[in-house]
Amino acid sequence: MTKLSVNINKIATLRNARGGNFPDPLVFARKIQEFGAQGITVHPRPDERHIRYADVRALRPLVWTEFNVEGNPIPRFLDLVLEVRPDQVTLVPDDPDQITSDHGWDTIKHRDYLKDIIGRLKEAGIRTSIFVDPVPEMVEGAVHTGTDRIELYTESYARGFAEGKAEQAVKPYAEAARLAHRLGLGINAGHDLNLDNVEYFVRHVPHVAEVSIGHALVVEALWYGMENTVRMYLHKLASVEH
């Protein structure tokens, strides 16, 4: 079964909009795991506009499933993850002022840069994943960085699915996943996956170990409640066998 890691950034965004500590991301992380999610994801950015670096430190002892920390590997971020030692670090090439991630790494151009960072993380016993677009050259390039996994950036799939072009949109992801698997890479996926499109994705893209879902899941929880929403995702993922 493909695992569900819930990104709780949007919980922190709600907290920060009002001040204080309500809603408390730590409480939500604990409850989301109790509801059955197999992981918690956070993506601290330099301006701390949602998850703060202090949140990451506070979450570490509370996450008993898989703790995945995403981010651009600037020195401050690397210091944080080497201190906290999450189960997985996902390297994302986002700029400080980006609203959200919008592209994967050029694994050829940035091979040496990524190789150095990934080497430091693996020495600390941290599994690594890097954000990539579903492009064969970028998947092949990922192997030479030393990463354990890739995370397929799924925005173009989600857009195509919404436009009624699911078969066309999912094809490059299936091909990228098969290639990554042949090359010995684990496969994660994330960005704009939701209750409508996630089952189709994991049914047609082989070897997906986990999906990371945040914004859509939190929005859907406004309609269905957080526990119901988490269980709805788990039901959809469990219906697909790889």
Hey, what domains does the chain have and what are their CATH numbers? 3-238 (3.20.20.70)
Q: What is the pTM of this model?
A: 0.94
Given the residues 50, 66, 70, 151, the one annotated as active site: 70
> Residue 83: what residue type?
E
Query: By the 8 A CB rule, do 229 and 217 touch?
Result: yes
Query: By the 8 A CB rule, do 100 and 127 touch?
Result: no
Given the residues 151, 191, 199, 204, the one annotated as active site: 191
Question: 207 catalytic, yes or no?
Answer: no
Report which secondary-structure segment, H or E, holds 42: strand 39-42
State the pLDDT at residue 101.
53
Question: 50 catalytic, yes or no?
Answer: no
**Could you report the per-residue pLDDT of 182-191, keeping only the tens digit for each?**
999 999 999 9
**Could you report the per-residue pLDDT of 197-219, keeping only the tens digit for each?**
999 999 999 999 999 999 999 99
CB-based contacts of 216: which residues, under 8 Å, 6+ apart? 192, 193, 194, 195
Tokens linked to 144:
């030479």
**Could you report the per-residue pLDDT of 66-106, keeping only the tens digit for each?**
999 999 999 999 999 999 999 999 999 976 554 455 578 99
CB-based contacts of 188: which residues, under 8 Å, 6+ apart? 90, 129, 149, 150, 151, 152, 208, 209, 210, 211, 212
Sign of dihedral through CA atoms 195, 154, 161, 50?
positive
Mean of pLDDT values over 153-159: 96
